[in-house]
Amino acid sequence: MPKIIIPTKLETVCKELLEAQGYEVIQDGKTELKALLEKHRDAVGLVVRSEKITAEVIDMLPSLRLVVRAGAGYNTIDIKHARSRNVAVMNTPGANSNAVAEEAVGLMIAGARYFVEGDKTTRAGLWEKNKYMGSEITGKTVGILGFGNIGQLLAKRLRGFDVKLKIYDPFVSLDKAREHGAEIASMEDIFATCDFLSLHLPATKETEKIISTQFFSLMKDGAVLVNCARSEVLDEEALREARKTKRIVFCNDVYDKDEAGLKTCNDIADIMLPHLGASTFEANNNAARMAANQTINFLDRGLAMHVVNKSIPDGLAPEYQQLSSALARFARSYIGAKAPVFEIQASFYGKLKDFSRWLIPPIVAAISGDNKITDIDQAEEYLKSRGITCKIRDTDEGKRYGESITVDLISGAQQMDRVSVRGTLTEGNIILSRMGEFGKLYYEPTGHTAVFVYDDRPGVLAQISQSMALEGLNIEDIRSPHNESGSKSIAILKLNAEPAVELIEKVGRLLHCHAAFTVHI
């Protein structure tokens, strides 16, 4: 009888479902993890929550085939070592989405109606009714930043309040927004016009401290800001400064570390919760049920869902996944980081056509900025949630492109509705061969790249080079072909350091470029 260990206080439905399928289940949330594993070295599966599953822990179980994280985050699991041991690691994304959405509504109401302060003073024997004049959500404008599963559920929960809903998510389609009765808006517009704002952005390099001074300065006096996403997306020092001159109600449930101790936002948060977003019986039940079903599907039927450390299949060089990601990042930057993508089209030439399920996830991860998208199930779920279609086109092998990849992004943006990027491998290096109407680029898309598209005329390259030199930037490589008609040129520069976005935008305006952007890989 195969043995599964659950070393945590997970809802018993997981144990019950596994036992009904014929597994021996050891659920023990009290015994120290290594001591528990020492007694059950024959276990084939682990179902965990926040336990640290290190390489040492994995090596204690020679028969281990699967680790399931009953929840979304898996940073406590050594997924690389697990893969080296041929152990699959899964998570259960979406199990807590409704819990977090409801928490956001609760924080909005609590923040606007002084529930916490009112409770404290009334318990102290005071009666400060006149002091706590609050605001209603009904009829107000609410902004949701990040419109994935949680953001969409929040929109549904807010319908009964008859709010005007504005959303920001560069990867959501217009049809998906309309489905929820929402208006797609810029971050600037949301912060300037909304009475309530709820953050549901992922933590990435691009979103780190993105909620900062420029947005706090736009907010209405008395607006309520809720963060149930990640602490990294909000600049606490900028909020601290903004609150010196403006009343911003800040309700927070996320921190750098989930542990006891004073928090850095103590002085600026009106309400602080100990990361309770997923702490509901229902969310825990959902996660437990999903963990059990995924375990059964994997061990009994060979069906892998939400694998976060999926291996590369035989015959596919890992560099092709890097190529897919790089092409998508260049296409995304070309079409505009904030332009809503509504369709992806991809072509896989040569033997790569048999590996689309491993090449699509890097594309979706690159255009979304979500590096947790690692398998086709996660990619398809993400695309569906945003209303984005993905088409894999038939290829004409007569073109003799060899093993190459083409990625097209289609957007509703007015200036750039479509961009197509192609690349391949040469001597093991990823190569960008075409971008838009510019072919024969043969550029290695790694490091720091600046791109300018302009009407062809003498002297432009010299101006670009001088602008880079004045900022102390050295050009390590450059490509500058014309399009077929000779009317336009592209300058692709590999730089020794990352250029400031403001510099690239300034040069783009000075030279009247059709496009000017940077990509860092």
pLDDT score at 416 = 52
CATH T-level assignment (fold) for domain 3-95+281-301: Rossmann fold (3.40.50)
312-431: which CATH number, 3.40.5.50, 3.30.565.10, 1.10.600.10, 3.30.1330.90? 3.30.1330.90
User: Which amino acid, residue 210?
Assistant: I
Domain 447-521 superfamily per CATH: ACT domain (3.30.70.260)
**Residues 173 and 196 sit within 8 Å (Cβ to Cβ):** no
Per-10-residue mean pLDDT of the chain, 521 residues long, equals 94 96 96 96 95 96 96 86 92 93 98 96 96 96 95 96 95 89 96 98 87 97 96 96 97 92 96 94 95 94 84 82 95 88 93 91 90 82 91 86 93 71 93 95 95 95 95 95 93 95 95 95 89
CA 339 to CA 414: how far, in whole Å? 9
| Edge-first strand listing for the sheet containing 429-435 | 389-392, 341-348, 404-411, 418-426, 429-435
CB distance 10 to 49 below 8 Å: yes
Return the HEC string of 371-424.
CCCCCHHHHHHHHHHHCCEEEECCCCHHHCCCCEEEEEEEECCCCCCEEEEEEE
> In the block, which residue shows the tokens 């109407």?
437
State the burial class of residue 294 (Cβ atoms within 10 Å of its Cβ: 0-12, 13-18, 19+): buried
Residues facing 434 on adjacent strands? 422
Looking at domain 97-272, its CATH class is: alpha beta
- Domain locations in the chain as residue ranges: 3-95+281-301, 97-272, 312-431, 447-521
Instruction: Match 């927004």 to its residue by tokens.
Output: 177
Indicate if 447-521 has the same CATH topology as 97-272.
Answer: no
Question: Residue 300 and residue 453: Cα distance in Å, rounded?
Answer: 54
| CA-to-CA dists, residue 95 to 151, 175, 212, 282, angstroms | 14, 25, 30, 9
Q: How far is CA 481 from CA 407, 429, 431, in A?
A: 20, 21, 16
- Taking phi over 0 as left and psi of -120 to 50 as alpha, with beta for the rest, 94 belongs to left
